[in-house]
Amino acid sequence: MNTIAENHPFTINEQGHLDIGGADTVYLAKKYGTPLYVYDVSILRDNCRAFVQTFKELGASAQVAYASKAFSSTAMLQVVRQEGLSLDVVSQGELYTALQAEFPAEKIHMHGNNKSREELEMAIDHNVGCIVVDNFHEIELISSLLEKQNKEINVLMRVTPGIESKTHQYIMTGNEDSKFGFNLQNGQADRAFLELTKHEKIHFKGLHSHIGSQIFETDGFTLAADLLFKKLAEWNTDYGYIPEVLNLGGGFGIRYTKDDQPLAYAAYVKEMVSVVREQANHHNMPVPEIWIEPGRAIAGNAGITLYTVGSKKEIPGVRNYISVDGGMTDNLRPALYSARYEGVLANKASQPVKDKVSVAGKCCESGDMLIWDLPVPEVASEDILAVFSTGAYGYSMASHYNRLPNAGVVFVENGIDKLVVRRESFEDVVRNDLSYE
């Protein structure tokens, strides 16, 4: 058994190949070509259910909204809809995709720190369930659109609670430096409160905060809930305001490498339900609905990327490189913020480790490296490399750098594979080009 594969929720089959959802990854690579994103749909469903069912077991009213920026496609949003989740979108493109997937509008929440008039108009036209208001400019835009269309809308107010997660710890930042949301401490949130609550067509449902990403502890959410409740209690005392919703955002951490030790998703939910009940009780207010927004935690570990190994370069005494047929175009995270990944040779998944190689992408950037110092069996050209936990922020951040066509996406469930995003053709790459002669 390959020890790296053991860190990830996949098995090795009788041929010694890596399996995903009951399908042989080497077969999938041959059938669909590489690079290729592959998702195990049963893991996607399990991830959704881990959040939803824990709220249910605790008897807490909640909405679990999948943050679709992590991975948005029609098929993905169909699965999320089937599992009964709500959905976060941050642009017209994400909203359009949600509508394509026949996502119920009342379960869609519109986010963004610079929503355009067109985006807000589309959201209001389609009667989305909620707009998460980020700034004063947006309140003005929404007001004028509601007047024009004679409509009403639910909103949450995004606030920066003055907590920042540094992955394994939290820092209190007195003067919150963030492009998102209203400052909770300096009077901004209070001004926004007055603007929102005086507006007849705006239903101000409560507060929203999102403290960061790839978080492995519950403390940050507890701290955020404390701070948000303090403000809500003030508004309760001063104006008799009763919040219906408290949205604590996303950011639940997943395993990319063996160094990541994620909590069970149920642990976050239990802590949130307990702190929200405690705080409501403490401030003599009704317990609001809890909303959360997992993105990575739904899509991340369910997806892998398959590549074909091409060239090798040995620098004696320094390092051995192998290059694959994708890279920063299909997974920007290593180049963007030195994100770390693990992988195995899918066609040699049961062979003992012999070598250590660094995996380079094929783009013309020295920073286009996918994995440094990966332990592998003896590597040869045409081997298939599987990189784990690429299900979130992989496809969604893909680019056409070097005019590489975007990779396709395959869903596997119970051994059955289905293409859900076509690989782009070269015609697709030049589709919007216009001639100048």
* Active site residue ranges: 364
- List the structure tokens of 239: 């104006």
Exposed (0-12), middle (13-18) or buried (19+): which is 418, by Cβ within 10 Å? exposed
The answer on whether 333 is annotated among ligand-binding residues is yes
- Angle (nearest 5°) at CA 268 between 267 and 274: 90
- Angle (nearest 5°) at CA 326 between 320 and 328: 90
2 vs 54, beta carbon nearer ligand PLP: 54
3 vs 338, beta carbon nearer ligand PLP: 338
Q: Using CA atoms, how far apart are residues 344 and 351, in angstroms rounded to an integer?
A: 10
Least Å distance, CB 294 to ligand PLP, is 5
Least Å distance, CB 15 to ligand PLP, is 34
Greatest distance between any 2 Cα atoms in the chain: 73
296 vs 423, beta carbon nearer ligand PLP: 296
Do the beta carbons of residue 199 and residue 153 sit within 8 Å?
A: no
Do the beta carbons of residue 396 and residue 6 sit within 8 Å?
A: no
199 vs 333, beta carbon nearer ligand PLP: 333
The answer on whether 251 is annotated among ligand-binding residues is yes
Instruction: Give the interface with ligand PLP as residue ranges (CB under 6 A).
Output: 67, 69-70, 88, 111, 210, 213, 249-252, 293-297, 392
Least Å distance, CB 159 to ligand PLP, is 12
Least Å distance, CB 179 to ligand PLP, is 11
The answer on whether 293 is annotated among ligand-binding residues is yes
Do the beta carbons of residue 407 and residue 326 sit within 8 Å?
A: yes
69 vs 81, beta carbon nearer ligand PLP: 69
Q: Using CA atoms, how far apart are residues 233 and 116, in angstroms rounded to an integer?
A: 32
The answer on whether 337 is annotated among ligand-binding residues is yes
Exposed (0-12), middle (13-18) or buried (19+): which is 180, by Cβ within 10 Å? middle
Least Å distance, CB 392 to ligand PLP, is 6
The answer on whether 431 is annotated among ligand-binding residues is no
Looking at 83-187, list the stretches that DSSP marks H as alpha helix, in order from N- to C-terminal side. Answer: 92-100, 117-125, 136-149
Q: Which residue of this chain has its Cβ atom nearest to ligand PLP in the complex?
A: 295
Q: Which residues are annotated as a binding site for substrate?
A: 296, 333, 337, 365, 393
Which residue positions form the known binding site for pyridoxal 5'-phosphate?
251, 293-296, 393
The binding site comprises 251, 293-296, 333, 337, 365, 393
